[in-house]
Amino acid sequence: MNKTSLVFKREFLTRVKKKSFLIMTIVGPLLLGSLVLAPLILATIPEGPKTIVVVDEAALILGEKGNDKYQFAYLPAKEFDLEKAKDFFKVSGHDALLYIRRGETGDPHWVKDHSAIYGKSDISLSLQGYIEDLMETRINQQLLLREGISPEVVAQSRVNVSLATFSIDEEGEKASATGTKMIAGYLGGILIYFFVFFYTSQVMRGVIEEKTNRIVEVIISSVRPFQLMMGKILGVGAVGLVQFLIWVVLSSAIYAVGIGVIFKDKLTPETVMSQEGMKEAVEASEGMQFVESMDAINFPVVIGGFLFFFIGGYLLYAALFAAIGSAVDNETDTQQFMLPVTIPLILGIVVTSKVVEDPNGALAFWFSIIPLTSPIVMMTRLPFGVPMWELGLSIALLILGFIAATWLAARIYRVGILMYGKKPTWKEMFKWMTYKNG
């Protein structure tokens, strides 16, 4: 065990002294904090309305002024055909051109199929959606009038339903925050994938480097292969854990400072009294709703789960990557072995989109229990709340998976670390697992 600790110390100190570690430790929280704060900052930045120049031959939306985001400017339909309208638009400072044609019969369906939007660049989906919704409303009104039905009566008969959602558990009743939990689940799963893949790859590269430089032959003379492998795995893992903890502290500080700066003086009585202040207050309150929705997430459980599943997932995959590194002479030869090992990691990321839609479904349950995918999928589920027995089962199976992977990897490592000049196959690696000591 003392020799394992010496290898651990060497691996840890070598990596934390590198400039790349210091740079990523500082840049990482800045990127993470920016990722969280960017939507809130963008929501509070006032944006001037865009002007849409309109030629409305069918008088479909004539008189419509638009909204705070889009405003309409009309050209006389008798003076501007499509080509003249395009020429005018090219030299104008307007953002888009809407040309609404009128058919010979005045059929609203014909108007719908023969109108178009032109822009100086690609038309945004929000602009396209706004104009399409506006035209659909007006066309439907015309069709109702043709049938002798009052559009006002139809409008009054429609009811928009927006239900408040709550979750009830042993702790009581509380408002649900599905959107925020989805973001937290996605972010947690992606971070687990990134950390596990990044640091396990470092283990594999370190093994290959020592084997290629023949340093391992000297080390093996005084340290058992298993001790060397475990020291390297634990050393690199400790680097990742320290870096993550620094990230958490710095990211939390950046988030707290950012929230204070963004919403400072946004909801004071003076700003609310003015018309512009009312708009800022609405934007600020929407941002504050997002902040308040964060309270629906049990962060102690989420952060504790992240630490465990990062450590467990890392140890499991680091053992497998160390075995791969010991079996080859250079990184190019690792491709045939890495694909089967990394497929579960990739599969875990792929299924997260389904998991956040139904975090308590059968797909989410099984992928959060299987050790090879549980670090990512269970991390995605944790913000939504997971029954304790499922969490305990996932933890127990991940520990067993790590033990099994370490046992298999150690048997490959002890043979492969001293093999040179030959590309091994899966069949040969299986034989290495069955070799007896001595």
Looking up residue 76, the CATH number of its domain turns out to be 3.40.190.10
**Least confident window among 44-48, 330-334, 362-366:** 44-48
Is 201 domain-assigned?
yes
Same domain, 240 and 369: yes
Higher confidence at residue 124 or residue 276? 124
Same domain, 349 and 280: yes
Its domain, for residue 84, covers 50-155
Is 161 domain-assigned?
no
* Contacts of residue 226, Cβ cutoff 8 Å, sequence gap at least 6: 410, 413, 414
pLDDT given at position 378: 92
pLDDT band at 275 (very low <50, low <70, confident <90, very high): very low
pLDDT given at position 272: 42
Mean pLDDT over each residue of the chain, to the nearest integer? 78
Contact 100, 56 (CB under 8 A): yes
pLDDT given at position 396: 94
pLDDT band at 44 (very low <50, low <70, confident <90, very high): low
Taking residues 232-259, report their average pLDDT: 79
Give pLDDT tens digits for 159-191. 666 665 666 666 666 666 677 778 888 888 888
Is 420 domain-assigned?
yes
Same domain, 150 and 269: no
Same domain, 108 and 217: no
pLDDT band at 125 (very low <50, low <70, confident <90, very high): confident
pLDDT band at 285 (very low <50, low <70, confident <90, very high): very low
Total number of domains constituting the chain:
2
Q: Is the pLDDT of residue 99 over 70?
A: yes
Q: Say what percent of the chain tops pLDDT 90.
A: 8
Q: Is the pLDDT of residue 243 over 80?
A: yes
pLDDT given at position 368: 92
Is 413 domain-assigned?
yes
Report the C-alpha gap between 184 and 294 in whole angstroms.
9
Taking residues 15-44, report their average pLDDT: 73
Residue 266, Cβ density class (10 Å: 0-12 exposed, 13-18 middle, ≥19 buried): middle
Is 167 domain-assigned?
no
Is 171 domain-assigned?
no
Tell me which residue has tokens 């009052």.
150
Is 163 domain-assigned?
no
pLDDT given at position 367: 93
Same domain, 322 and 406: yes
Report the interhelical angle of 388-416 vs 299-327 (nearest 10°): 20
pLDDT band at 294 (very low <50, low <70, confident <90, very high): low
Higher confidence at residue 164 or residue 208? 208
Q: Which of 155, 185, 206 is the last residue of a domain?
A: 155
pLDDT given at position 288: 46
Same domain, 122 and 235: no
pLDDT given at position 5: 84
Q: Is the pLDDT of residue 195 over 80?
A: yes
Is 21 domain-assigned?
yes
Same domain, 195 and 316: yes
Same domain, 374 and 354: yes
pLDDT given at position 283: 46
Same domain, 111 and 259: no
Q: Is the pLDDT of residue 90 over 60?
A: yes
Higher confidence at residue 240 or residue 288? 240
Same domain, 147 and 35: no
Same domain, 95 and 198: no
pLDDT band at 370 (very low <50, low <70, confident <90, very high): very high
**Least confident window among 60-74, 87-101, 148-162, 309-323:** 148-162
Q: Is the pLDDT of residue 399 over 90?
A: yes
**Least confident window among 178-192, 199-213, 408-422:** 408-422
Same domain, 60 and 19: no
Q: Is the pLDDT of residue 103 over 60?
A: yes
Taking residues 266-286, report their average pLDDT: 47
**Secondary structure string (H, E, C) spanning the chain:** CHHHHHHHHHHHHHHHCCHHHHHHHHHHHHHHHHHHHHHHHHHHCCCCCEEEEEEECCCCCCCCCECCCEEEEECCCCCCCHHHHHHHHHHCCCCEEEEECCCCCCCHHHHHHHCEEEECCCCCHHHHHHHHHHHHHHHHHHHHHHCCCCHHHHHHHCCCCCCCCEEEECCEEEECCHHHHHHHHHHHHHHHHHHHHHHHHHHHHHHHHHHHCCHHHHHHCCCCHHHHHHHHHHHHHHHHHHHHHHHHHHHHHHHHHHHHHHCCCCCCHHHHHCHHHHHHHHHHHHHHHHHHHHHHCCHHHHHHHHHHHHHHHHHHHHHHHHHHHHHCCCHHHHHHHHHHHHHHHHHHHHHHHHHHHCCCCHHHHHHCCCCCCHHHHHHHHHHHCCCHHHHHHHHHHHHHHHHHHHHHHHHHHHHHCCCCCCCCCHHHHHHHHHCCCC
